[in-house]
A and B are shown apart, each in its own frame.
Chain A
């Protein structure tokens, strides 16, 4: 519903025609007098790692830099564009940290238009202690200054200041390790098994259902002494690894052929969606998972998850 608009917004075609070029973020942090770059893995969901294994978003903060250029910005104005001819178009990054329920805007430090196009450069520091768990970064275009005169063929265009008229890119940063991000609930009961999984009805796991407890939940039952986790503390990594592998196996089996294809190839996946997180999971696997025959998929999952949990545990 949030994506439905009664006015034209930026399309892939428009972005291409106007020569929009969004460079990858550069992420780093500062320790003492030195700045250290963080490595990125993934596209719509990005996992950051620190080669020197010091960085933690909570303790060290995060610095980002990004360049955006539009070779032919004129294509974005007028009846076939997204704002009126005499309006001003702004570009900014909206950040949202769901864990801390915070959101805000990052404005470009430079925004220069020359005959060869428009170039925006962003530089921003999230200080230590400011962000936790997750961070979504959306580059948006918005009406910066409304047009004083709206031409007859521009009546359908948005002309209210501060309103978004298109999203150039959305990236979700994943700061947690595999078992932390997986939706797990502990539920102690003598009437339930050691572990089980509950799924909601999925309408479109590529876009609608998010990889969260409402849609996927692994229940672990501390009533049993074999339970691999109590109060969030892992007691038995091998057991947790086996359970997670079976859970991922069930999740992959639940996808239609089309959803699985989209997941493997990152086709039209909404950040945070079930398929988007699974895509990231596949990227993070050391060796490509083989899906057929199914027993090979399960074995591949067992091997990969065991390795990752062992790394996290180290």
Chain B
């Protein structure tokens, strides 16, 4: 069934998450036990039922990775690819909709609260100090940190034409790559450039997350003057030169601090 996209405002999302925060201990613990079994009684729109089920299948398959900080990225990646396949960009899910935080808030808070909680069970420091229990940023509050939105955009900005090729390009990365990519748009996301950069980065494995940070940082500095699409060989050649500039001998900066 095709999803009929629904929205949830910041204010409403805040109210729902704060209600969870303010539950009595027994009720909250009971809720978490249900969420661990992917059991929610949320009244989301029926068109999301298959969507939810498919995401739960992937999450459940890889949920054991939650215990290992280094491996949890694979769960994010697999889930991101599934999410992207369920909500492919196009007429039914436009650029405007994929940017619409209220659409992602509905998905996070109403449709997928269980896996969002299980992925990020720790609230932010200030929320915790105020007696809160859920990670507000990952559910609804920070526009570039809403977890499922970041996964969709990570795949979108890295897309290589097919799920398999995209997986191949991203499989050696880590969770920090997701944040770094999403949070360094410069003047705006240049989508073909980001896809080229991800290919170039993958072609130069092994690498470390800080290499990627340096890569995106140098790109942002360059883009003040240069428009990569207008350079000789376009984005692909630009990405290659950029990486070569950072690591002249084709080596990653293993000794860098």
Residues on A facing B (Cβ under 8 Å): 2, 58, 90, 92, 94, 96-105, 128-132, 140, 142, 144-146, 160-164, 231
Question: Of A101, A129, A162, which is within 8 A of B189 by CB?
Answer: A101
- Chain B residues near A97 (CB-CB < 8 A): 188
CB of A132 within 8 A of CB of B229, answer no
Q: Using an 8 Å CB-CB cutoff, how does the interface string of B173-208 with A read, 1 for contact, 0 for none? A: 000000000000111111100000000000000000
Q: Find chain A residues with CB under 8 A from B225 CB.
A: 163-164
Q: Is the CB of A101 within 8 A of B185?
A: yes
Mark contacts of B1-28 with chain A using CB atoms, 8 A cut-off: 1 yes-contact digit, 0 otherwise: 0000000010100000000000000000
Chain A neighbourhood of B94, CB < 8 A = 128-130
A189 to B121, CA, bound (A): 32
Cα distance, A98 to B9, chains bound together (Å): 21
Return chain A residues, CB-CB under 8 Å to B185.
101
Taking CB atoms, residues of chain B closer than 8 Å to A58 are 96
Q: Given A100-B99, A103-B187, A132-B96, decide whether A161 and B231 contact each other with a Cβ distance below 8 A.
A: yes
Q: Which residues of A contact B80 (CB under 8 A)?
A: none
Q: Which of B151-183 contact A (CB under 8 A)?
A: none
Q: Tell me whether A130 and B230 are in contact (CB under 8 A).
A: no
Which residues of chain A come closer than 8 Å to B129, judged between CB atoms? none
Q: A102-B188, A103-B188, A104-B190 are in contact. Are A90 and B230 (CB under 8 A)?
A: yes
Interface residues of B (CB under 8 A from A): 9, 11, 91, 94-97, 99, 185-191, 224-232, 238
Partner of B231 from the list A102, A104, A162 (CB cut-off 8 Å) is: A162
Contact of B230 among A92, A131, A132 (CB under 8 A): A92
Tell me which residues across on chain B come within 8 A of A100, comparing CB atoms. Answer: 95-96, 99, 188
CB-based contact A162/B230 at 8 Å: yes
Closest to A128 in B: B94
Across-interface contacts of B230 in A (CB, < 8 A): 90, 92, 105, 142, 144, 161-162
Residue of B nearest to A97 (CB): B188
Apart from A101-B99, A128-B91, what 11 extra A-B contacts exist at CB < 8 Å?
A: A2-B224, A92-B230, A100-B188, A102-B95, A102-B188, A103-B186, A105-B230, A162-B226, A162-B227, A162-B229, A163-B227
| A-chain residues with CB within 8 Å of residue B99 when the two chains form the complex | 99-101, 132
Q: What are 22 A-B pairs at a CB distance below 8 A?
A: A92-B227, A94-B227, A96-B187, A100-B96, A100-B99, A100-B188, A101-B99, A101-B188, A102-B188, A102-B191, A104-B188, A104-B191, A130-B95, A130-B96, A146-B232, A161-B231, A162-B226, A162-B229, A162-B232, A163-B226, A163-B227, A164-B227
CA distance A134 to B99 in the complex (A): 14
Instruction: Kindly name the residue among A94, A98, A161, A231 whose own CB sees the greatest number of chain B CB atoms within 10 A.
Output: A161
Task: Please name all residues of chain B whose beta carbon is closer than 8 Å to the beta carbon of A164 when the two chains form the complex.
Answer: 225, 227
Instruction: Give chain A residues whose Cβ lies under 8 Å from the Cβ of B11.
Output: 231
Known: A100-B95, A100-B96, A161-B232. A142 touches B189 (CB 8 A): no
Chain B residues near A142 (CB, 8 Å)? 227, 230
Q: A128-B94, A162-B238 are in contact. Are A96 and B227 (CB under 8 A)?
A: no
**Shortest distance between the CB of B154 and any CB in chain A (Å):** 14
User: A254: shortest Cβ distance to chain B, in Å?
Assistant: 29
Residues of B close to A144: CB separation below 8 A: 230
**What are the residues of chain B within 8 A of A96 when measuring CB–CB?**
187-188
CB distance from B159 to the nearest CB of A (A): 15
- Distance A129 CA – B189 CA, assembled complex (angstroms): 16
Contacts of B226 in A (CB 8 A): 160, 162-163
**Given A58-B96, A100-B95, A128-B94, A105 and B229 contact (CB-CB distance below 8 Å):** yes
A103-B189 contact, Cβ under 8 Å, with A163-B226, A231-B11: yes
A87 to B224, CA, bound (A): 21
| CA A104 to CA B238, docked complex, whole Å | 15
Question: Taking each of A160, A162, A163, which has the highest tally of chain B beta carbons within 10 Å of its own beta carbon?
Answer: A162
Q: Which B residue's beta carbon lies closest to that of A95?
A: B188
Q: How far is the CA of A130 from the CA of B94 in the complex (A)?
A: 6
Q: Are the CB atoms of B227 and A129 closer together than 8 Å?
A: no
A96 to B186, CA, bound (A): 11
Whole-angstrom CA separation of A145 from B230 in the bound complex: 10
User: In the bound complex, how far is the Cα of B230 from the Cα of A144, in angstroms?
Assistant: 7
When C-beta atoms are compared, the residue in chain A nearest to B143 turns out to be: A101
List B contacts of A94 (CB < 8 A): 227
- In the bound assembly, the distance between CA atoms of A146 and B231 in angstroms comes to 10
Kindly list chain B residues whose C-beta atoms are within 8 Å of the C-beta of A103.
186-190
